[in-house]
Amino acid sequence: MYAIVNIAGKQTKVEANKFVYAHRLAGNVGDTVELGKALLTDNNGAISIGAPELDVTVTGTILAHVQGDKVLVFKKKRRKGYKKLNGHRQQFTKVLINSIG
């Protein structure tokens, strides 16, 4: 069984007993979070689509707060001697999905 859930403005496919990386969520490591209502569920081929949501809640446990890979932003203007290099690392939360529904 899987579900598609809106987490922090992004639609994410989640399955029970698997983990997902979401944008930084409030809470400490070990806390239980409710990820909201499902937009779509699939239970062994039986697909249910909400209009706009289903009455199925998804719960998970926060495993860790991590950072993503470094993204380098390089700007250059040719023949002017202008070069600028910036780096950025996105903040993520690793969430273990406990139950769907």
pLDDT band at 95 (very low <50, low <70, confident <90, very high): very high
pLDDT for 92 equals: 95
pLDDT for 47 equals: 87
Looking only at Cα atoms, what is the longest distance across the chain? Answer: 61
Q: Note the pLDDT tens digit of each residue in 47-88.
A: 888 888 888 889 999 999 999 999 999 999 999 999 999 999
3-state helix, strand, coil in the chain (%, to 5): 0, 70, 30
pLDDT (mean) for 90-96? 95
Looking from the CA of 80 toward its CB, the CA atoms found within 13 Å total 7
pLDDT for 51 equals: 87
Residue 90 corresponds to which amino acid? Q
Q: Note the pLDDT tens digit of each residue in 1-58.
A: 899 999 888 999 999 999 999 999 999 999 999 988 889 999 888 888 888 888 888 9
Total residue count of the chain as it appears in this document: 101
Q: Note the pLDDT tens digit of each residue in 65-76.
A: 999 999 999 999
Contact 38, 67 (CB under 8 A): no
